[in-house]
Amino acid sequence: MPVCCVPVHSTDSANSCPNRLSRPPIDARKCNWLTERLGSETMGFSALVLNQTEDGKIESQVTELDDSQLPEGDVTINVEWSSLNYKDGMVLQGIGRLVRDYPHVPGVDMAGVVESSDSDAFAPGDRVALTGWRVGEVHWGGYASKARVKGEWLVKLPDAISTREAMIIGTAGFTGMQALVALEAAGLSTSEDRQLLVTGASGGVGSSAVMWAGLAGHQVTASTGRLENQDELLALGASAVIDRAELAENPSRPMLGERWAGCIDAVGGDTLAHVLTELGYGTSVAACGLAGGNSLNTTVVPFLLRGVNLLGIDSVMCPASHRAVIWNRIADVIDSDKLDSLATEAGLGDLPALAPAILAGQVKGRTVVRVA
């Protein structure tokens, strides 16, 4: 049977690296680039596959693959939904050398049902989700209707969360709740006189954080550069919306007036530096993004004179035990209608064209990807 390939997109990249992943040998018998690398026998599932050409371009095709071409792992999943994240945009555009081995199936998130398992922790029929663990960059990811992964990377979904909802949440929503849980563990409470600030509030992490914090009973100020989204942010749970320009410049003084009960910062750069100067005494900022830059030009004065805390949030290698805590907290507060209001659906073939938009900050809320 011939391989069915739908060309989608190509982009330049300088990535080049020898094979590092363990997969079955590739059947190189067909004439186009994908079938030359992936073979043509007994199709089993559909996938968006990336390849790097000799001149450094990244090409993508939606195609049919065989189960024998899946990477190693002890759990095989029938993937139903995935999502589009900032890192996915980088991978699809070939930016940052995140992928070193081609052909490659991207997608840092996936949710679906276990088909087969050699792991004691999972059984066929279990509903599971996967975010992080460098899936979609080092390991084949969720932009396919079937995946094979390590069981230790998976979490069983709480009954209150469907597989579609899990991918509206995805890495972005998980990160937003992880940041909120970290702030609460550091002392943030719902009885604060000041408000909790969320920066980058129109993006995936920021809009999710606004929603989670509002549902958890916190008073939230959402900072965004897209004030046309004000009504949506208020509906999600913000009690106030401000222009990001208020926070965009690094102040000349090491401290300004105490303004915030805490902050979930998805921007970084000068915005984070500004926020540090306005935190209330003993409060914290959870840093979970760098859309505004990865440099932090600040002083130690807020840490020494106000006892503020800078909390780093890493959702990629977060231990499985803590992941379960985060997913259960999401299940406790989830509002399906609000969550669905964040979502825009896309198919596998739509993703390469959406990649530059998410990198440019032009994607609002969450893009959930129908895979099955």
pTM of the full structure = 0.85
Identify the three-state secondary structure at position 279.
strand
Task: Return per-residue pLDDT of the chain as tens, 372 residues.
Answer: 333 444 444 554 444 333 333 444 444 333 344 444 444 445 489 999 999 988 888 999 999 999 999 999 999 999 999 999 999 999 999 998 899 999 999 999 999 999 999 999 999 999 999 999 999 999 999 999 999 999 999 999 999 999 999 999 999 999 999 999 999 999 999 999 999 999 999 999 999 999 999 999 999 999 999 999 999 999 999 999 999 999 999 999 999 999 999 999 999 999 999 999 999 999 999 999 998 999 999 999 999 999 999 999 999 999 999 999 999 999 999 999 999 999 999 999 999 999 999 998 888 889 999 998
CATH of 173-312, one of 3.40.50.2300, 3.40.190.10, 3.40.50.720, 1.20.1070.10: 3.40.50.720
What pLDDT shows up at residue 372? Answer: 81
Q: Which helix (H) or strand (E) holds 354?
A: helix 351-359
Burial call 241-278: b when 16+ CB within 10 Å, e when fewer: bbebeebbebeeeebeeebbbbbbbbbbbbbbbbbbbb
d(CA 218, CA 245): 23
Residue 47's Cα: distance from chain center in Å?
Answer: 19
d(CA 235, CA 82): 25
Given a contact cutoff of 8 angstroms between Cβ atoms, the answer to whether 153 and 123 are in contact is: no
CA of 198: how far to CAs of 201, 213, 223, 260, 332, in Å?
6, 9, 6, 10, 21
d(CA 362, CA 372): 26
Domain ranges of the chain: 5-156+342-370, 173-312
Radius of gyration over alpha carbons of the chain, in Å?
A: 21
Q: Which helix (H) or strand (E) holds 87?
A: helix 86-93
Given a contact cutoff of 8 angstroms between Cβ atoms, the answer to whether 130 and 142 are in contact is: yes
Strand 366-370 with 284-287, pairing:
unpaired
- Closest to 123 (Cα-Cα) out of 163, 146, 151: 151
Whole-number mean pLDDT of the chain? 90
101, burial (CB in 10 Å: exposed 0-12, middle 13-18, buried 19+) = middle
Q: Render pLDDT for 40-84 as a digit per residue (tens, 0 to 9).
A: 445 489 999 999 988 888 999 999 999 999 999 999 999 999 999
Q: Which CATH architecture has domain 5-156+342-370?
A: Alpha-Beta Complex (3.90)
- Sort residue 122 into left (φ over 0), alpha (ψ -120 to 50) or beta: beta
Residue 361's Cα: distance from chain center in Å?
Answer: 14
**Quick one: tokens of 142?**
């969720």
Give 304's contacts (C-beta < 8 A, 6+ positions apart).
none
d(CA 298, CA 250): 8
d(CA 340, CA 198): 20
Do the domains 5-156+342-370 and 173-312 sit in the same CATH topology, yes or no? no
